[in-house]
């Protein structure tokens, strides 16, 4: 038995997610398109949109990428703070 995974294009996934938001159930979409309900659930999560305070629309994927960037920037900031502490001479007013 081979465990061959089917890869679906973004052009295939997005319309299915849109149909979900138009009112079709995950089970119905699964039956209609031959895709597991859990896979459709992942796509819905992946392509769901979030509106920011300034009105910008972001997908869950974009939010995840931004969270990764923030974590990286925080780590870099911490490293720079430590470097400054190491290379900044102590001030002695004795």
CB count in 10 Å sphere of residue 78:
10
pTM beyond 0.75: the answer is: no
Q: What is the CATH number of the domain that holds 75?
A: 1.10.10
- Domain range holding 17? 10-87
pLDDT digits 0-9 by tens, 58-69: 887 888 899 999
- Evaluate whether residue 76 is within a structural domain: yes
**Mind listing the pLDDT tens digit for each residue in 8-50?**
999 999 999 999 989 999 999 999 999 999 999 999 988 888 8
Rg (the chain; Cα; Å)? 23
- Residue 77 belongs to a domain: yes
């Amino acid at each position: 038995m081979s465990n061959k995974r089917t890869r679906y294009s973004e052009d295939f996934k997005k319309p299915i997610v849109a149909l979900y938001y138009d009112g079709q159930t995950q089970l119905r979409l699964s039956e209609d398109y031959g895709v597991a309900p859990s896979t459709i659930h992942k796509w819905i999560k992946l392509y769901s949109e979030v509106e920011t305070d300034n009105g910008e629309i972001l997908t869950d994927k974009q939010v995840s990428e931004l969270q990764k960037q923030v974590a990286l920037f925080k780590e870099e900031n911490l490293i720079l703070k430590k470097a400054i502490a190491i290379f900044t001479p102590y001030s002695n007013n004795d």
